[in-house]
A and B are shown apart, each in its own frame.
Chain A
């Protein structure tokens, strides 16, 4: 089975622009979470979605938004990009049967110039 996939792998934007990152969970997984990993730090939780509803939100500004589609894929949107948004954005999915275990995708490396 395919793992969690994310696109694009790399992205370069300039300050003030908007970006959309995409994630496809493992087949059968209905929960998707997004994390931001700044260089040299651990991942920070941004959002969690389950069955297309937001189930958790981390301490991030309203410039960050997300949604989950009927096929359980997800998008993360970031508006008005700042230099500090440069990071690796990770998506993780989990199944209902094993809710304490997340499976991470390879991430999208976002660079804001």
Chain B
């Protein structure tokens, strides 16, 4: 069984400040980990993924995440927030039973960026 916990349903930052969105996972096998972003009234867009290669993963729009096995974490960061980063962010974990790659999503964190 696999699960994801996203700490904080809402995170508020000022424009230019560091963004940190937290994700902890549970998986019985080495996980595949993902961060998605969802803008209002849109589908999900993949930001980045970890698939057992480098533990520090760089994604689109300046985001990156670090896989820490000892902490079962995959936190998302961005050095400087932009107003356009305001959106809902989802962390997801999947294993590979039979090659299906079916992800389990967290409840999401809403990022609010203040001018």
Q: Mark A residues whose CB is within 8 Å of B.
A: 4, 33, 40-45, 48, 55-56, 58, 90, 92, 94, 99-107, 109
Contacts and interface: CB of A to CB of B under 8 A. Distances in A.
Interface residues of B, number: 26
A84 B51 CA distance: 35
B94 interface: yes
B107 A40 contact: yes
B90 A104 contact: no
Given A41-B108, A42-B108, A56 B100 contact: yes
Interface string B81-115: 00000000010101010111111111110000000
Interface stretch (B14-22, B37-45, B65-73): B37-45
A99 B99 contact: yes
Given A43-B90, A100-B49, A104-B43, A94 B101 contact: yes
A45 B103 contact: yes
Contacts of B46: 101-103
A68 to B, nearest CB: 15
Contacts of B63: none
A69 B92 CA distance: 28
Contact of A43 (B44, B49, B96): B44
A101 B44 contact: no
A55 B51 contact: no
